[in-house]
Structure 1
Amino acid sequence: MRFQLTEDQRELKTGVRRLLERRFPREALRAAVDAPGGLDRELWRALGAAGFFALALPETAGGVGLGRPEAVLAFEEAGRALLPGPLVATHLAAGAVPGAAEGEVVVTAVAGRLVEWLDAADVVRGDATGAVPLRSVDPLTPLHRVPRAAAAGPLAVLLTAAEQLGSAVRMNELAVQHARTREQFGRPIGAFQAVQHLCADLLVRAETARAAVYAAAVTGDPGDIAAARLLADEAAVRGARDCLQVYGGMGFTWEADVHLHLKRAWARARRNGGVTESEELLAAGLLS
């Protein structure tokens, strides 16, 4: 199989990145972190107008008419930009919940035993009875815990993996950029072998996860999706940790963005039943 992106897919990926750079630049991210004020409805409607939530919805139903691979590319860019909100739930609700595709309605879902952005949502899919607020490690992912776990569908798991992939890619970019510009002992820290090894590990994990996520988007096989989820979670979490090491003490400061990616990666890793559900699915497949 060939997993090279088509010209249209590359243009879609570039278009989503430019949209997010324009509507949710770093300044907007930092403002949201420093002064959390709930979900940005204007940004949500802009995403809907751009077709972000309706990518996989058939054209006959008012959608863009694309498929899983294109949705994965869009969610990869959302993960790279740390775009907040119940993106996966709203995307999956397009066509089923009026207004979700257009970004006029915010939809969240019970995923495992967690619900993201419950207070900001107009519609909750699943049973959120007895939800209790949690103190989230991620300042831009408010969480509630529900008493009963809910199983996640394969597409929700795949899109979560795509977001994790986006974070892993961004961590690699930031680490390499810092290694090239930060100097110690009269030369860039990227000249030191220990830093080179960290950057190389970042790249290998990100590219391995990319191959798995893209392949799962093509096949749609639950086992492939579970494997992609495990690799993407590892690439995002370990990638952020290694990027912190490249940054040194600066990476732990509030002003750096690295800790935000680590915290979001932790939060995503608990979504949709967490990695345990994917591990159990793969183990069941091997035993059978």
Structure 2
Amino acid sequence: MDFQLTSDQRDLQQGVRALLAGRFDRTALRALADAPEGPVLDRELWRELGAAGFFALRLPESEGGVGLGLPEAVLAFEEAGRALLPGPLVATHLAAGEVEGAATGATVVTAVDPGGLVPWLDASDVVRGDTARAVPVRSVDPLTPLHRTPTAPESPDPVAVLLTAAEQLGSAARSCETAVRYAGERAQFGQPIGAFQAVKHLCAQMLVRTELARAAVYAAAVTADPAEITGAALLADEAAVLGARDCLQVHGGMGFTWESDVHLHLKRAWLRAELGPSAGGVEEAWAAAL
């Protein structure tokens, strides 16, 4: 059995990465994070994503979609996580074929998560779920405005959980790469800090967590088994949160500054971990499946 990505899957992955690098690079990321009025959803970028098939990846070709599967969607969302792309990406993707304009990016869709949090409520055209009593709450992530509502769905959509895990995986990989690069550039006592054993261990742990999560997320995308999805989500959350934390540790005092991007990955990882089922709930679901 061949577990490697196909050439088409690699092309898709590289295409999404190139699109985001060109339209949402670090300059755009920092401009959004530093905006005094708060983050504003880029509608033009949203439509470009729609034109590229990002939201319609799993929609059949007969319905105007790309006709690919869940594994390809996971690869695309992994790249979105690497870039810290803001907006209700998962909800809009899941609404393709059900909400007019969602597949093309003309309509922005958000949804109430199982914990009652609603990201990007004011910027969305369609809200899936009851938000009649939603109130704004302060978000730990400066790139994700939030509301909270007392009415929430009883259980999460497994596909939403998996795509969020894919975003976490992308963020974990980016944190690991950032830490390794900085460890090779920053010098202390006449040598790169990456030569010190403690820093080597931190980077190695980040890589192990990331690759373990990658294997679980990719496998769950193939099987679409709810139990495997919950396990993948647990590993991806851990890889993203602990990876960003360790990346910050490698950066030392510089990692705590607003100018560094490390804190943005940590805050988004924290938020994503809260938007889905709780870690305790995931563990219970996984234990019940076993």
What range is the shorter-chain TM-score in? Answer: over 0.9
**Take 1:44 and 1:68, find their aligned partners in 2: how far apart are those partners?**
21
1:201 corresponds to? 205
1:188 corresponds to? 192
The ranges of structure 1 where at least 4 consecutive aligned residues each deviate by more than 3 angstroms after the TM superposition are: none
1:133 corresponds to? 136
1:234 aligns with 2:232: no
1:14 corresponds to? 14
Of 97, 100, 103, 2:99 maps to 97
Q: TM-score, normalised by structure 2?
A: 0.97
Counting only pairs closer than 5 Å after superposition, residues 42-81 of structure 1 correspond to structure 2 as 42-81=44-83
**Take 1:250 and 1:158, find their aligned partners in 2: how far apart are those partners?**
33
Q: CA RMSD in A?
A: 0.9
1:214 aligns with 2:218: yes
1:118 aligns with 2:121: yes
Query: Identity over the aligned pairs, expressed in percent?
Result: 73
Secondary structure, aligned partner of 1:141: coil
2:228 corresponds to? 224
Of 157, 166, 172, 1:168 maps to 172
1:139-171 CA distance string (max 9 Å, x none): 011111111231211000000000000000000
Q: TM-score, normalised by structure 1?
A: 0.98
**Take 2:281 and 2:51, find their aligned partners in 1: how far apart are those partners?**
34
Point out where structure 1 has 5 or more consecutive residues left out of the alignment.
none
> How far off is 1:180 after superposition?
0.4
**Take 1:83 and 1:16, find their aligned partners in 2: how far apart are those partners?**
12
> How far off is 1:272 after superposition?
2.5
**Take 2:84 and 2:49, find their aligned partners in 1: how far apart are those partners?**
14
1:231-254 CA distance string (max 9 Å, x none): 000000000000001000000101
> How far off is 1:219 after superposition?
0.3
1:23-55 CA distance string (max 9 Å, x none): 101100000000034211011111101110000
1:157 corresponds to? 161
Secondary structure, aligned partner of 1:138: coil
Secondary structure, aligned partner of 1:14: helix
**Take 1:255 and 1:148, find their aligned partners in 2: how far apart are those partners?**
37
1:31 corresponds to? 31
